[in-house]
Amino acid sequence: MDTIITMPGHLITIEQAGIERCTAIIEWARRFRNRDAVPSQPPGTVALAFFEPSTRTRMSFEVAAAMLGARTVGFTTSGSSIEKGESFEDTIATIEALGAEAIVLRHSASDAAERAAAIATRAIIINAGDGMHQHPTQALLDAMTLLDTFGTLEKRRIAFIGDVLHSRVFRSGYTLFRMLGAEIGVCAPPLLRSGHLPLDMVELSDARAALKWADAVVVLRLQRERMQSGLVPSLADYRQRWAVRIADVEENSCYVLHPGPVNAGVELDAAVVDHARSLIRRQVTNGVFVRVAVLVEALGIPVVQPSSVVT
């Protein structure tokens, strides 16, 4: 029998989505990965509205949409009418008028996804990263990868290392991992810590201490595009205390995640990426299936068990 995954509306933040929706998306992502569920009818049009650069997120949404047989229409700021002065609001309304059923949105403004959701009358807005605010599909794929590794996040220790101040990956990941029962550690240079960090996190003095304390660390990139100058004295200085070194990875039993793009030689040693306890490539693969699940949900595509598909 067909199962229609309920269409719960826009995906803007982890808080709004809530634990039930997040765990359901992860469960569906696993079923799609295991080929234990397949979509039973072709979906409509998915618009990829990327006002800010992206490799993994954009490509994995593209791959996910292709796996579902959806039409995608692409958008990047360069070459679009944004360059002729068209407003953000008009651009979203135009994409919707073109017939997009889902708009996957990446933007440098922290309220962009909320603003798009306020304009859209039919299309579902999927936040693919808005400024320093949230990146919910990243949190979902990170949680899926950690759940694959540990079975449960209950009482597991997850530490974020690096530029938490500018990181939407931190803000959405923190919320989801806490919802799943994890303890959260944080380790960041004083000027790259947010003034409003949640109080229930364990403070760790440097990357070495984080690797000793945690079951898994999420290494964050220095978000230089969002940074005022002078927040980090020098890269050499940064590496000294905050970079994840291969020797420390080998000495401990901690797993390593990174949302990408990796700046090898800055926030981690290049050798860490392909270490046996690096989950970085698995994050990318899981990202495709999380995005399949999110699109199926957003577009209300009926899903069947493969055995019931008549060929």
Q: How far is the CB of 167 from ligand ASP (least distance, A)?
A: 7
Q: Which residue is nearest to ligand ASP (CB)?
A: 221
Tell whether residue 260 is a contact of ligand ASP (CB under 6 A). Answer: yes
The continuous run of DSSP H or E covering 30 comes out as helix 14-33
Q: Which of 10, 33, 133, 135 binds ligand ASP (CB under 6 A)?
A: 135
CA 273 to chain centre: 18
Choice between 74 and 302, CB closer to ligand ASP: 74
Residue placing its CB nearer to ligand ASP in the complex, 14 or 301: 14
Query: Can you tell me which of 39, 185, 259, 287 binds ligand ASP, judged by CB under 6 A?
Result: 259
Min dist. Cβ of residue 267 to ligand ASP (A)? 9
Residue 205 has phi, psi (to 5 degrees) of: -75, -30
Q: How far is the CB of 110 from ligand ASP (least distance, A)?
A: 12
Of residues 43 and 259, the one with the C-beta less far from ligand ASP: 259
Rule CB under 6 A: say whether 173 interacts with ligand ASP: no
For the segment 217-246, give every residue that binds ligand ASP (CB under 6 A).
221, 223
- Between residues 254 and 280, which has the closer beta carbon with respect to ligand ASP? 280
**Strand positions, DSSP E, the chain:** 3-4, 38-39, 45-50, 71-76, 100-107, 124-130, 157-161, 183-187, 201-203, 216-219, 255-257, 302-304
* Residue 156 binding ligand ASP, by CB under 6 A: no
Burial 33-55 (b: 16+ CB within 10 A, else e): beeebbbeeebebbbbbbbbebe
Contact between 39 and ligand ASP by CB under 6 A: the answer reads: no
- Total residue count of the chain as it appears in this document: 311
Amino acid identity for residue 249 in this structure: V
Per CB under 6 A, 133 contacts ligand ASP: no
- Pairs from 80-87 (Cβ < 8 Å, separation ≥ 24): 82/51
Q: Give the separation between CA 285 and CA 298, rounded to whole angstroms.
A: 20
Q: Annotate 209-245 with b (16+ C-beta within 10 A) or e (fewer).
A: bbbebbbbbbbbbbbeeeeeeebbeeeeebbeebbbb
Neighbours of 62 (CB within 10 A): 18
Closer CB to ligand ASP, 39 or 260, in the complex: 260
List the one residue from 33, 168, 171, 178 that touches ligand ASP (CB under 6 A): 168
> What values do phi and psi take at 100, rounded to 5?
-70, 130
Strands 71-76 and 100-107: unpaired
Given candidates 70, 120, 169, 210, which one binds ligand ASP under the rule CB under 6 A?
169
> Minimum Å distance from CB 39 to ligand ASP?
27
Q: Which of 43, 129, 173, 287 binds ligand ASP (CB under 6 A)?
A: 129
CB closer to ligand ASP, 108 vs 252:
108
Which one, 37 or 169, has the nearer CB to ligand ASP?
169
First to last CA, the chain: 15
Binding footprint of ligand ASP on the chain (CB under 6 A)? 129, 135, 168-169, 221, 223, 259-260
